[in-house]
Structure 1
Amino acid sequence: MSTPPTTGAVLAPLTTADAEILVSAARRAAEAAGVAVSITVLDAGGHLLAFRRDDQALLISGETSTRKAYTALQLNAATADLVDAVKPDGPFHSLPTALDRPLLFIAGGVPVHRDGRLVGAVGVGGGAPEQDHGFAAAALTALG
């Protein structure tokens, strides 16, 4: 059996250490704004790497943060950029109900890229959609 030729450096996956950085940074941003949130980090396969719900966060924020992360991962786009796509005249109008695992087209989910490739996603729920997007964006900035 032959070994396939190497095509360069191996892309490092999103790690639990990376997930902790993302959660901590999003949490700091939310805390600075006085907002209780839930934060979900998924790897490239959609598997949970990290989750945190603030004590005072609404219970539903855990579900919304996870769905936002999953949506950002599956479509490789920030959920804030997809809101218009699911309006009645949008190209993804029926997508939220077409799949077994529900997507959520509310701002707060962002894909995580490394060397230009998708390696995971972070979702934040609990604040206003624009706040959640800002907290998730702060997490990406901290990851570098």
Structure 2
Amino acid sequence: MSTTTVTPLTTAAAETLVAAARAAAEAAGVAVSVTVLDAGGHLLAYRRDDRAVLISGETSTRKAYTALQLNAPTADLVDLVKPEGPFHSLTTALDRPLLFIAGGVPVHDRDGHLIGALGVGGGAPAQDHAFATTALTAL
């Protein structure tokens, strides 16, 4: 029997993700909130820019949670939950804080293991997704 050791997402790595997402957003002139969750869905890092709309804190956290639970970027899930999509009832079927708007991405280790998720809220969905995917390159 073999075992696989997965190195968890560290607080230092989470702070790197937050800084990278914020830098990308700042370069675009967009005020955002950024949330990083560990593999268990627990908060590792969070930051809301002073000028970010208040709801962006909630949306960034829900986007991260959704990306974590489904191990997929939220941008890839948007069409699946539309009325004609195969998972249209998922948004209301579970009592979970899921949000199917682009801006959430799973975080994987070098071996492809899911170790957490990152969510960005405050810009247009495509912007939030771009800021999140840019941040992943910082790890």
Matches within 5 A, 1:31-46: 31-46=26-41
Matches within 5 A, 1:9-48: 10-48=5-43
How far 1:89 moved relative to its partner?
1.3
Return the match for 1:133 from 123, 129, 134. 129
The yes-or-no answer on 1:66 pairing with 2:57 is: no
Provide the rounded CA distance (Å) in 1 between the counterparts of 2:55 and 2:6.
34
Dislocated runs of 4+, deviation >4 Å: none
How far 1:88 moved relative to its partner?
0.7
Aligned match of 1:113: 108
Letter in 2 for 1:139: A
Letter in 2 for 1:111: P
How far 1:7 moved relative to its partner?
3.0
Letter in 2 for 1:15: T
Letter in 1 for 2:121: G
Q: Which structure 1 segments of 5+ residues have no match? A: none
Return the match for 2:118 from 117, 122, 144. 122
Aligned match of 1:51: 46
Q: Secondary structure in 1 aligned to 2:108?
A: strand
Return the match for 1:81 from 70, 76, 80. 76
Q: How many residues align?
A: 138
Structure with bigger gyration radius: 1
How far 1:94 moved relative to its partner?
0.7
Q: Secondary structure in 1 aligned to 2:138?
A: helix
Q: Secondary structure in 2 aligned to 1:135?
A: helix
Between the aligned residues of both structures, percent identity stands at: 81
Q: Secondary structure in 2 aligned to 1:110?
A: strand
RMSD: 1.0
Provide the rounded CA distance (Å) in 2 between the counterparts of 1:22 and 1:13.
14
Provide the rounded CA distance (Å) in 1 between the counterparts of 2:99 and 2:113.
22
Q: Which structure 2 segments of 5+ residues have no match? A: none
Matches within 5 A, 1:91-102: 91-102=86-97
